[in-house]
């Protein structure tokens, strides 16, 4: 098995105002000094540049929560990957379930955004995951495979090296319900198997697959001990400095 470097990423969503963002970013920077894996925080657009200055010289990567599928021009309110890169971003989230459900983003749009992130030379955290009823009717692997096929359409094996997959069961996001380590491990293994079939065994082996869905200091160690879980995408707990500090310093 490839030695995959774990990635713990925080997703602040539409939370914090500037002074809070700076304080939280400084706390993440301090907490990450001895962290066993990579760390990133996906912060609101207006705070990217100031947070980038706080994170300078640290191991914490800066991430955005969305981007435009277009390069530039008359797209009022949109933010391009070039803009993100110019303020120090290294990561961009695509396909988050809130973008899918609240903003109506289709798999086709998510694919365009994913390819835009990759062509800008940024790392893309592509989120996939099933609804509660899909888990209950046993179609999780099918749903996730379809999201992967659509989201990664025309993404080359070389480009896949800049992709992280975040498996986030929708029923576990922000609900306090975490998938059991067995449920998460099974789906992560299914994702890796899909990548093996669509790309190669080597690509599957290299792929970092995060789990997301109400990860807390209490659940992170058990999740990270699973062989196919290589990190976490953390919403609520990433807004609480002490909790996120413990999560980035997981013990697997
Ligand atoms: C997320 O926003 O991707 C997420 C997993 O949120 P939470 O940790 O709050 O469930």
Whole-complex ipTM: 0.97
The catalytic residue among 105, 130, 168, 188 is: 168
Task: Please provide the distance, in angstroms rounded to a whole number, between the alpha carbons at the two ends of the chain.
Answer: 17
Q: Mind listing the pLDDT tens digit for each residue in 77-129? A: 999 999 999 999 999 999 999 999 999 999 999 999 999 999 999 999 999 99
If you measure from the C-alpha of residue 3 to the centroid of ligand 1, how many angstroms do you get, rounded to a whole number?
A: 26
Please check whether residue 108 is in contact with residue 116, taking contact to mean a CB–CB distance below 8 angstroms. Answer: no
Question: 231: helix, coil or strand?
Answer: strand
What gap in Å lies between CA 171 and CA 175, rounded to an integer? 7
If you measure from the C-alpha of residue 174 to the centroid of ligand 1, how many angstroms do you get, rounded to a whole number?
A: 5
Q: Is 212 in the pocket of ligand 1 (CB under 6 A)?
A: yes
What gap in Å lies between CA 188 and CA 191, rounded to an integer? 5
- The domain segmentation of the chain, as residue ranges, is 7-33+41-239
- Quick one: fold of 7-33+41-239? TIM Barrel (3.20.20)
Question: Rounded to the nearest 10 degrees, what angle do helices 48-55 and 18-31 cross at?
Answer: 30
> What's the predicted TM-score (pTM) here?
0.97
**In the structure, what pLDDT confidence band is assigned to residue 178 with cuts at 50, 70 and 90?**
confident
What gap in Å lies between CA 134 and CA 139, rounded to an integer? 5
CA distances (Å), 33 to each of 30, 60, 120, 211, in order?
6, 9, 28, 22
């Amino acid at each position: 098995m490839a030695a995959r470097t774990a990635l713990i990423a925080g997703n602040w969503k539409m939370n914090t105002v500037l002074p809070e963002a700076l304080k939280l970013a400084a706390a993440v920077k301090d907490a990450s000094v001895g962290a066993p894996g990579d760390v990133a925080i996906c912060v609101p657009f207006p705070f990217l540049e100031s947070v980038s200055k706080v994170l300078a010289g640290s191991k914490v990567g800066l991430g955005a929560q969305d981007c435009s599928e277009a390069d530039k021009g008359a797209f009022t309110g949109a933010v391009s990957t070039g803009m993100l890169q110019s303020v120090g971003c290294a990561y961009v989230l695509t396909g988050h379930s809130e973008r899918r459900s609240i903003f109506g983003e289709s798999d086709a749009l998510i694919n365009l955004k994913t390819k835009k992130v990759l062509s800008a030379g940024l790392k893309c955290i592509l989120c996939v995951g099933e609804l509660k009823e899909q888990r209950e009717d046993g179609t999780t692997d099918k749903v996730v495979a379809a999201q992967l096929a659509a989201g990664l359409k025309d993404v080359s094996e070389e480009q896949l090296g800049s992709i992280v997959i975040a498996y986030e069961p929708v029923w576990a996001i922000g609900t306090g319900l975490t998938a059991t380590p067995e449920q998460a491990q099974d789906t992560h293994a299914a994702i890796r198997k899909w990548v093996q079939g669509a790309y190669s065994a080597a690509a599957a082996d290299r792929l970092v697959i995060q789990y997301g869905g109400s990860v807390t200091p209490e659940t992170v160690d058990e999740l990270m001990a699973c062989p196919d879980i290589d990190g976490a995408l953390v919403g609520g707990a990433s807004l609480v400095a002490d909790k996120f500090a413990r999560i980035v310093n997981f013990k697997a």
